[in-house]
Structure 1
Amino acid sequence: MATLFCYGTLEFETVITRLIGYAPDAEPAVLENFARYRIADTDFPGIKPKRGEQIQGSLYKNLSPKEIKILDEYEGSSFSREQTWIRTREGRLERCWVYVVKAELRRTLTDEPWNPAQYFNIRSRVS
């Protein structure tokens, strides 16, 4: 079973449920030394290493290999799933997976921080 840190669209219950059939329990967590930006010409986020920055997100535990495969396909070829450490709200360090924009594609990240609330508002208006 796998643990995954999510920082973008996979945090939305409607998205994760549509993909894997249920909304896993989410534990608040922080990914340190990474920054989250909007990907150019999209409403979607990507992350890249950036010393001193941090990203608030959700930790999903006990995901099956089948569920991880579905999420890998959703994230697509622009991202690599990498192992990292996150900090829980209680201050524990936990090893997990996270989707990171591939190094050769990081130029597609804008300088604009990605805002989950803004994404949700945009998607709500078009859906």
Structure 2
Amino acid sequence: MLFCYGTLRFGDVLKALLGRIPEQVPASAPGYRAAALQGRVYPGLIVCAPGASAPGIALTDLSNEEWLILDAFEDERYELREVVLSTGGSGLAYIWPGEDVRNEDWDSAEFEEHHLAAYAARCARIAPRLAAGEPKGE
């Protein structure tokens, strides 16, 4: 199960990368927040004060090939780690190392309004390279 708190919450991005929208359940990650990052339109999941929780979804039916695509897609600085979820179980999530973090949380509505279309189009352009195991490049 993959916990998604940022751009992978959007069906347009998943469809562009994977060719489908995987099954998902609403979830959150207590003790984490989806932080806005300096100079980036996507967020980073970071540990924060108790009581906070990062909202998101858990993708429940990823194939091995889809995991490889998403691993290649994510920035190499992310670390894939297990996190406890509000669903009562746990899942894997891409954790940001903590640099370039802004004080405010990532704004998914702002991303959707101003960046989603271009971001999904970029994902569609790089998806064939990711599926072939090549670097995402630009």
Structures share fold, TM-score greater than 0.5:
yes
Tell me the amino acid that sits aligned with residue 75 of structure 2: G
Separation in 1 of the partners of 2:117 and 2:58?
28
Q: Offset at 1:107?
A: 2.2
Separation in 2 of the partners of 1:47 and 1:95?
15
**Residue 94 (structure 2) pairs with residue 94 (structure 1):** no
**Residue 28 (structure 2) pairs with residue 30 (structure 1):** yes
In structure 1, the gaps of 5 or more residues are: none
RMSD (Å) for aligned C-alpha atoms = 1.5
Q: Cα–Cα, structure 1 residues 86 and 125, in superposed 2: closer, same or farther, change >3 Å?
A: closer
Separation in 1 of the partners of 2:92 and 2:34?
16
Give the aligned partner of residue 107 of structure 1. 99
Give the aligned partner of residue 7 of structure 1. 5
Report Cα offsets for 1:49-102 as digits up to 9, x if no partner.
1132101100111211211111111112120111121012xxxx1121101012
TM-score (norm 2): 0.79
Tell me the amino acid that sits aligned with residue 108 of structure 1: D
Q: Offset at 1:121?
A: 0.7
Task: State the number of aligned residues.
Answer: 118
Tell me the amino acid that sits aligned with residue 63 of structure 2: S
Separation in 1 of the partners of 2:107 and 2:28?
15
User: Percent identity among equivalent residues?
Assistant: 25
| Superposition pairs of residues 1-127 of structure 1, within 5 angstroms | 3-52=1-50, 53-88=52-87, 93-102=88-97, 106-123=98-115
Higher relative strand content: 1
Secondary structure, counterpart of 1:87 in structure 2: coil
In structure 2, the gaps of 5 or more residues are: 122-138
